[in-house]
Amino acid sequence: MAAQTEESDTAREQTKAEQDVDQVRQRAARDQQRLDSGAVTSPKDLENLQKEIVSLAKRQGDLEDVVLEVMERREAAQERVAELTERVGSVQAKIDDANSRRDAACQEIDGEAATVTKDREVVAGSVPADLLKLYDKLRAQQGGIGAAKLYQRTCQGCRQELSITDVNEIRKAAPDTVVRCENCGRILVRTSESGL
Ligand SMILES: [Zn+2]
């Protein structure tokens, strides 16, 4: 925007400088006409007129230099505008690309979440109500993990190894008994790797 403002400012400046040149040129042309017409006869008036024509020519030259200087600045501003416009376009393309990749990822995640939610509903339907209630309570208390695998006598929820007493008790418990970690309270899931 700053570059565009500079460009339009120099455009205005150029118009103004060109008008200045035009005014001087017209005045010099009028003087020249008067001189050529022979209407001015007094030597003093003729001398003044000639002096003015010379001085106007000098003035016109100076003003034309101003026009050239402004045109150079305007050209530089135009180049800057073009360069920045191109950069804006390339950054915008990157933004568009990132947005569309994000949208695609969101869509994929939404789909996955829907599938997982459905899967969970099926599993939850097969779990006894009181156990599900306990699990949900523990899950809320324990950072999203209500049940953990018992792996080589270690609770995978809190990473604590169970005491010999606890291991012995779990060993004796019936397969359908809900056993819990003494340390974190999570439901322990027994497998062949539990070290029992
Ligand atoms: Zn634990």
* Residue 168 alpha carbon to ligand 1 centre in Å: 16
* Residue 123 alpha carbon to ligand 1 centre in Å: 23
**% the chain with pLDDT above 90:** 96
Element containing residue 180 per DSSP (H, E): strand 179-180
* Residue 140 alpha carbon to ligand 1 centre in Å: 15
Neighbours of ion ligand 1 (CB under 5 A): 155, 157-158, 181, 183-184
Model pLDDT, residue 79? 97
Amino acid at 141: Q
Model pLDDT, residue 196? 87
93-137 pLDDT, tens digit per residue, is: 999 999 999 999 999 999 999 999 999 999 999 999 999 999 999
* Residue 167 alpha carbon to ligand 1 centre in Å: 13
Average pLDDT of span 14-22:
97
**Whether pLDDT at 154 is above 90:** yes
* Residue 121 alpha carbon to ligand 1 centre in Å: 25
Mean residue pLDDT across the chain: 96
Q: Give the number of other Cβ atoms within 10 Å of residue 180's Cβ.
A: 18
**Whether pLDDT at 178 is above 90:** yes
Model pLDDT, residue 191? 94
Integer CA distances (angstroms), 72 to 1, 17, 80, in order:
20, 13, 13
* Residue 35 alpha carbon to ligand 1 centre in Å: 112
* Residue 164 alpha carbon to ligand 1 centre in Å: 15
* Residue 91 alpha carbon to ligand 1 centre in Å: 50
- Residue 186 in contact with residue 147, Cβ under 8 Å? yes
Model pLDDT, residue 160? 96
* Residue 186 alpha carbon to ligand 1 centre in Å: 6
**Whether pLDDT at 75 is above 90:** yes
* Residue 183 alpha carbon to ligand 1 centre in Å: 5
* Residue 169 alpha carbon to ligand 1 centre in Å: 15
